[in-house]
Structure 1
């Protein structure tokens, strides 16, 4: 192992795992090396906690800033930033919250975090042009059921047993309505999509979500429709498919393999 690599591992171990291995390159300069490292570590944790809070503002509102900082201090050593930028930092936070004992009394919290991470991903994604309807019209009607559709890359699907969209909406700064959310009202399925450079959220019906999820998984149009009808026998395929075309959630099509 190179000397540089060894030094990098020592610094990483000291900062994130609080290792006790000495750092030969660190010299005393008015403060003891251990004290200098402590200051650096604290500043790093504060900066990463701020970055995490910027991605999960609704989670911060739900639990309070002090509790969120407590969560962040536990999360950061387990999932430190590993990229040269902070965009991917925090992707594991929802799964972390699901296992975090101190948050066990808020079972909806991980799914709220998943919704916020989806918003973050969609905000930074490069959107593709919506599906050219002329291409779809050019396919003979009898061949359309064998088509596969690619979903918009700047879109994500959320399926939660909790009313996550209602929770998210009532915790927006501009929200002025009744902030009461009935946690027993049932789950919500959500499409998070970038449209005209803005991130928009749409509640989906269960069968509508099933249709899009099946298409995203590679099902043909016929297979996706079958999945939707299995969820709701009264599913209005034509209306829902038209709605999704209008929203731009479908970006491309191709014949099935």
Structure 2
């Protein structure tokens, strides 16, 4: 006799793989196939639409029929691991990066990564700005022992492709017919939420290196050294002031 867990696992596999062969039909009613078809149809439709909502640019680039095909493969190979549908699709860029039918679209995975970061930043936790009362201790701190904390609703992305422009001209409802040269150069981007809007900033090499090092927990001195390698004239004081004012930097530890 099968346990409830075994029955639930078999049912989940049948829905995700669209294959009912593993189900013990003796515990089901006469209309079992019709009911299973409803579950399969609803589950795949809802998960496909969840992916489409997060990845509208990818959908536009490959077309709706192919997006549905890729989404169905992704749903089968990477079933949701959370009850929160907003978390579904985090590995879709990596899936596309290894999906043979889109191998010729070398920019597609990075474009999808940008879309996921926009989605992730929109739903990320909020954080108060750096309190003014802490700025006096910041002014007297030694940079060699200082570690900045970045806002939880910001992400960084470096790509060898012009993904920001690809993302911009392929927004839903866009009438642009601009052709983007994928080999025209890459982007270094800061994806950040301001209020209820997500902003994407193109960064110079020095500032990107600085922010990336700070996000990894490196000290200001070490991060500054990395920034100087990319931009010998990098202005540390100006960078710190600007990023505190726009709440990219929201805290620090000595």
TM-score (norm 1): 0.90
Structure 1 residue 22 displacement after superposition:
2.5
- Which stretch shows the higher mean deviation, 168-177 or 241-250? 168-177
Q: 1:144 to 1:133 in 2, by over 3 A?
A: farther
User: Take 2:62 and 2:239, find their aligned partners in 1: how far apart are those partners?
Assistant: 36
Partner of 2:138: helix, strand, or coil?
coil
**For residues 61-140 of structure 1, what are the structure 2 equivalents within 5 Å?**
61-140=60-139
**Deviation string for 1:20-47 (max 9, x for gaps)?**
2223432213xxx345423421221111
In the TM superposition, 1:209-248 aligns within 5 A as 209-248=208-247
| Displacement after TM superposition at 1:61 (Å) | 1.0
* RMSD, matched Cα: 2.1
TM superposition shift of 1:112: 0.8
Match of 2:4 in 1: 4
How far apart are 1:215 and its partner, in Å? Answer: 0.3
- 239 and 57 in structure 1: CA distance in 2 versus 1, 3 angstrom threshold: same
Shift of 1:230: 1.6
Structure 2 residue 25 is matched with structure 1 residue 27: no
Question: Distance between the aligned counterparts of 2:96 and 2:111, measured in 1?
Answer: 10
CA–CA distance in 1 between the matches of 2:146 and 2:207?
18
What is the Cα deviation at residue 198 of structure 1?
A: 1.6
**Distance 1:120-1:162 versus aligned 2 partners, 3 A rule:** same
2:202 maps to 203
**Aligned pair count?**
252
Show CA shifts across 1:224-246 (max 9, x none).
11111122223233333333222
Using the TM superposition, give the Cα deviation of residue 166 of structure 1 relative to its aligned residue in structure 2, in angstroms. Answer: 1.0
CA distance in 1, matches of 2:74, 2:174: 30
Tell me by how many angstroms 1:178 deviates.
7.0
Change (3 A) 1:174 1:144: farther
**How far does the alpha carbon of each residue in 1:136-189 deviate from its partner, in whole angstroms, 9 at most, with x for none?**
332354613421011100111111111111111112247577733232221101
Supply the distance in 1 between the matched residues of 2:218 and 2:139 (Cα, whole angstroms): 19
